[in-house]
């Protein structure tokens, strides 16, 4: 029996979603919890691989449980798993899915959100949840720059290098928007898929546009250069949340 899981977690204390040699991963904790419930070692396959310190509200994964051990219903599986998980990881929902379903390869889109607290004093309730940017930001310039990201582009200038190769650095974004509620800025970035640290590269660049360090009109040129050195900084991991993964 195959189950689709929706998972939320605070990534502060983890080395990312995927198993790491250098620290505890979210995937590891969930598979350990499965090991408390089932005798067969089970592997959880995720829709994304969030980095160390990145959070999730809508991570999607799937797990296959042998028929002989499938004694838990979809409604009871989250309760049983959460009983063996630390408080900063929660299985929000579980549902039966078709045998062909794959959390990663069937995903049609992802939405990330990034929080920035733009005030001289940090909001203590948002520590490890938002990037504290003290300097005043030009929101009009940032929004002008943000409008240049949606569409199909080569995002090599905004992605970090990694120890695995990707076939293409071209990705399609459907939304890049900035909302403001007092000092709290929320960047909403949606697309078919993302490169390694791509969202953080976009947000870091937009913040530097707001600081006057990069002109909004430069974004198109930065995309064309396909060089990470041409773009702005990478925003810190702790402000980023995998908000939602979409399927047909």
Per-residue pLDDT tens for 176-217? Answer: 999 999 999 999 999 999 999 999 999 999 999 999 999 999
Q: Identical fold at 2-96 and 109-246?
A: yes
pTM, entire model:
0.94
The Cα–Cα gap between 130 and 82 comes to 26
Active-site residues, by number, are 51
Residue 172 has a pLDDT of 97
Residue 151 has a pLDDT of 97
Q: Which residue has the tokens 């062909």?
A: 100
CATH 3.30.70.580 for domain 2-96, yes or no, is yes
For residue 247, name the pLDDT band (cuts at 50, 70, 90).
very high
Fold classification of 109-246 is Alpha-Beta Plaits (3.30.70)
Per-residue pLDDT tens for 4-34? Answer: 999 999 999 999 999 888 899 999 999 999 9
Q: How much is the mean pLDDT over the chain?
A: 96
The closest alpha carbon to 58, from 112, 20, 126, belongs to 112
The Cα–Cα gap between 167 and 93 comes to 33
Q: Where are the domains of the chain?
A: 2-96, 109-246
Residue 70 has a pLDDT of 81
Expressed in percent and rounded to 5, the helix, strand and coil fractions of the chain are 25, 30, 45
User: What is the average per-residue pLDDT within 143-165?
Assistant: 90
């Amino acid at each position: 029996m195959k189950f689709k899981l929706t998972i939320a977690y605070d990534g502060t204390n983890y080395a990312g979603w995927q198993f790491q040699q250098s620290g505890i991963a979210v995937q590891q904790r969930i598979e350990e919890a499965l090991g408390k419930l089932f005798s067969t070692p089970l592997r959880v396959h995720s829709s994304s691989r969030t980095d160390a310190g990145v959070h999730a509200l809508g991570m999607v994964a799937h797990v296959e449980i042998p028929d002989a051990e499938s004694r838990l219903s979809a409604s009871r599986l989250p309760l049983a798993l959460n009983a063996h998980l630390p408080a900063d990881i929660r299985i929000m929902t579980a549902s039966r899915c078709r045998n062909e379903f794959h959390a990663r390869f069937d995903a049609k889109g992802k939405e990330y959100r990034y929080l920035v607290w733009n005030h001289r004093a940090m909001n203590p309730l948002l520590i490890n949840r938002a990037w504290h940017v003290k300097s005043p930001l030009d929101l009009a310039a940032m929004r002008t720059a943000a409008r240049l990201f949606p569409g199909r582009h080569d995002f090599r200038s905004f992605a970090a290098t990694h120890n695995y190769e990707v076939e293409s650095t071209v990705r399609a974004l459907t939304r890049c928007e900035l909302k403001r509620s007092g000092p709290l800025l929320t960047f909403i970035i949606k697309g078919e898929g993302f490169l390694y640290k791509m969202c953080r590269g976009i947000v870091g660049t937009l913040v530097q546009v707001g600081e006057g360090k990069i002109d909004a009109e430069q974004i198109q040129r930065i995309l064309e250069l396909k060089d990470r050195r041409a773009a702005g900084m990478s925003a810190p991991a702790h402000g980023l949340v995998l908000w939602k993964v979409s399927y047909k």
